[in-house]
Amino acid sequence: MRLELEKKPKGVKLIAGFPGFGLIGTIATEFLIEHLNAVQIGKIRIDELPPIVAVHQGQVIEPLGVFYSKKYNLVILHALTSVAGIEWALQNEICKLMDELKVKELITIEGIGSTTVENMNVYYLANKKLDLKKININPLKEGIILGVSGALLLRGCANLVALFVETHSTLPDSRGAAKIIEILDKYLGLKVDYKPLMEKAVKFENKIKELMAKKEKVAASQEKKELTYLG
C-alpha cells in the first residue's frame, strides 16, 4: 500500500468516506466530488486487494481516489472498495496524506445502525473543540466504531472530526447520505444544494449497487478458480 499524489495543495481540509454501513461515506463523497467539480490528484494504491477495476462512463474509477476542489481548498478521499483487513495500514497512509498536504482538519463519514426508519440523527466524535451551533448535532455517547474511522480515532492524527448518521439499512442509504451532505454544507459553508440529492443519489445508489455486485461476482469467480486449481 502506498500514497501517490500528482499535486500537493497545502492547508486543506480533508473529507474521507468509506463503504461502511449503508455506504454512507461512498455515496456522500461521490456526490461532493461531482457537485464541487473536484479533480483527481492522486490515489492510494493497494496491492493487498484483488485487481478489480470499476469503469463508469468510459473512465476507470480508482478503488481509493484522492480528489481536490480548488474553490474550497478541500480534498476528498473516495473509496469504492472494501478495506476490511487493511484498516491499520490505510490509517497510516491517511496520516501520511495529512502530513503531505498540511491538513487542517480531517472529517470522516460513517453510518451507524438504527432500528427506526424515521430517525436520521447525526452524531460526532472529535479530538478538537468544535463550534457546532450552526448545525445542532450531539456527541456520540454510546456505540462501537469499526473500520478506518475506528483506527483513526485510536491512532489518528490531530484535528479529527468523525460524523455518524443513523441508517436502518445495510444497503446503500441515499437519505442518510443526504443528511450528511446537509450537515457538511452547514459546517464547511460549501453552498451545496443538497435538497435534490435524493434524486441524484438514487442514480449513484444504483450505480454503486451494480459495481459492488459485479465486484463480488468477479471475486467469487476468482476464488472458485483458485480453489479448482488448488484442488
**How confident is residue 112, by pLDDT bands cut at 50, 70 and 90?**
confident
**What is the average pLDDT across 48-65?**
76
Q: Lowest-pLDDT range, 149-153, 169-173, 177-181, 200-204?
A: 200-204
Q: Is the pLDDT of residue 115 over 60?
A: yes
Q: Is the pLDDT of residue 7 over 80?
A: yes
Q: What pLDDT shows up at residue 41?
A: 96
**How confident is residue 155, by pLDDT bands cut at 50, 70 and 90?**
confident
Mean per-residue pLDDT of the chain: 83
Q: Is the pLDDT of residue 173 over 90?
A: no
Q: Is the pLDDT of residue 197 over 70?
A: no
Please, which residues have CB within 8 angstroms of residue 219's CB and are 6 or more apart in sequence? 50, 52
Q: Lowest-pLDDT range, 64-78, 101-115, 213-227?
A: 213-227
**How confident is residue 227, by pLDDT bands cut at 50, 70 and 90?**
low
Q: What pLDDT shows up at residue 184?
A: 92
Its pTM stands at 0.82
Most confident of 83-87, 96-100, 199-203: 96-100
Question: Which residue matches cell numbers 473543540?
Answer: 129
**What is the average pLDDT across 98-126?**
86
Q: What pLDDT shows up at residue 211?
A: 74
Find the distance separating the first CA and the last CA of the chain, reported in whole Å.
30
Domains of the chain: 2-220 (3.40.50.10900)
All three cell numbers of 79? 473509496
| Cβ–Cβ under 8 Å, residues 15 and 32 | yes
All three cell numbers of 121? 440523527
Q: How far is CA 66 from CA 70, 112, 160, 210, 222, in A?
A: 13, 24, 18, 22, 28
Q: What pLDDT shows up at residue 71?
A: 94
Q: Is the pLDDT of residue 138 over 90?
A: no
